[in-house]
Amino acid sequence: MSLIRTSLRATGAVGAVGALVLLATPATAADTATVSILHGVPATPVDVYANGERLIDDFQPGTLTDPQQLPAGSYDLALYPADAPDASGAPLLSANGVTVPAGANVTVVAHLTADGKPALTPFVNDTSAVPAGQARATVRHTAAAPAVDVRAGGAVVVPGLENPKEASLTVPAGTVSADVVLAGTSTVAIGPADLTLSEGTTTIVYAWGSQEAGFKLAVQTISGGHSAPAGVPGGTAGLMDDSSLPLPVAALSLAGLIAAGAGVLRLARSRG
């Protein structure tokens, strides 16, 4: 695991993006990376440009792209208003030199910071295998809100999560009722919502939005992290034992031996 520090340059009238940390996962594909993009800035449809070329047209808030295989490397990303004809004007938001390491699975999130400014944050998704029967649940705070607690079934599972941080848990697969409260309170900001944590997946839940536009949840599911069970048990009685002769067969064989013995004995006596 190598640590790559990427600095994103903020341009235009809005947007200040700080230094971001990309954590490269062990390379599986030699020179490509898997990249998804989530739009979490309320009420602002955009066009997304990568290295000057339009990547997504009319990208709506609350939508997520299908994962794309992209060559690993450095990308200059820029978001323009959806009605802009091209990338010639001033972008709403841009991030230059976003490093996408080979083999990594990355989600780039356009979202609001805690104090309501647009930002682009790349998250590296942990797609490593979970034990059979389990799922990985990852929560990411990308909403214009202070620290929150994430609760499942009413109990706090992730305390004090701040924008733009994340936390991961490996849990038994199933459906949980989750909500988001302001940290240390029981003031519900989002939810409760039923979340399906499918076995062998990484399910990433984003809290996004703002007080004015409303807080919402977005869900990204990455499959392929499943493991096989450790084995298959199957019997405790030995009724189908393959290693020894069944009793009736052994008894028959023994009876034959006794008869032969008796015959030989009689033969010997009659001679003697």
Partner 1 sequence: MRPAVATAVLGVALAVAAPTTWVLTRPAATAGAPVQQSLGAPSSPEAASAEPGDLFTVTARPAAPATAEQRPVPVRLTVPERGVDAVIDAVGVQPDGQMTLPADVDRVGWYRFGPEPGADGSAVIAGHVDDRVQGLGAMAPLREAEVGDEIVVTGSAGTATRWRVVSRELIQKQALPLERLFAREGPPRLTLITCGGPFLPEIGSYRDNVVVVAEPLP
Residues 57-96 that bind partner 1 (CB under 8 A): 59-60, 62-66, 68-71
Stretch that binds partner 1, among 10-18, 32-40, 86-94, 142-150 (CB under 8 A): 32-40
Nearer to partner 1, 188 or 254 (CB): 254
* Residue list 126-155, contact with partner 1 (CB under 8 A): 131-133
Nearer to partner 1, 5 or 269 (CB): 269
* Residue list 159-188, contact with partner 1 (CB under 8 A): 173, 175
Exposed / middle / buried, residue 202 (Cβ in 10 Å: 0-12, 13-18, 19+): buried
Stretch that binds partner 1, among 27-35, 83-91, 142-150, 180-188 (CB under 8 A): 27-35
Least distance CB 136 / partner 1 (angstroms): 14
Nearer to partner 1, 70 or 147 (CB): 70
Task: Strands of 126-183 (E only): list them.
Answer: 134-143, 148-152, 155-161, 166-172, 174-182
Q: What is the H or E stretch that residue 49 is in?
A: strand 46-50
Nearer to partner 1, 16 or 198 (CB): 198
Nearer to partner 1, 16 or 82 (CB): 82
Least distance CB 76 / partner 1 (angstroms): 13
Nearer to partner 1, 9 or 266 (CB): 266
Task: Write b or e for each residue in 20-56: b if 16 or more Cβ atoms lie within 10 A of its Cβ, otherwise e.
Answer: bebebbeeeeeebbbbbbbbbbbebebbbbbeeeebb
Least distance CB 258 / partner 1 (angstroms): 7
Query: CA-based diameter of the chain, in Å?
Result: 123
Least distance CB 178 / partner 1 (angstroms): 9
Tell me, what amino acid is at 158? V
Task: Write b or e for each residue in 159-189: b if 16 or more Cβ atoms lie within 10 A of its Cβ, otherwise e.
Answer: eebebbebeeeebebeebebbbbebeeeeeb
Please count the residues of this chain forming the interface with partner 1, following the rule CB under 8 A.
Answer: 80
* Residue list 201-260, contact with partner 1 (CB under 8 A): 205-206, 216-220, 224, 226, 228-243, 245-246, 249-250, 252-260
Question: How far apart (Å, rounded) are the C-alpha atoms in residues 121 and 10?
Answer: 12
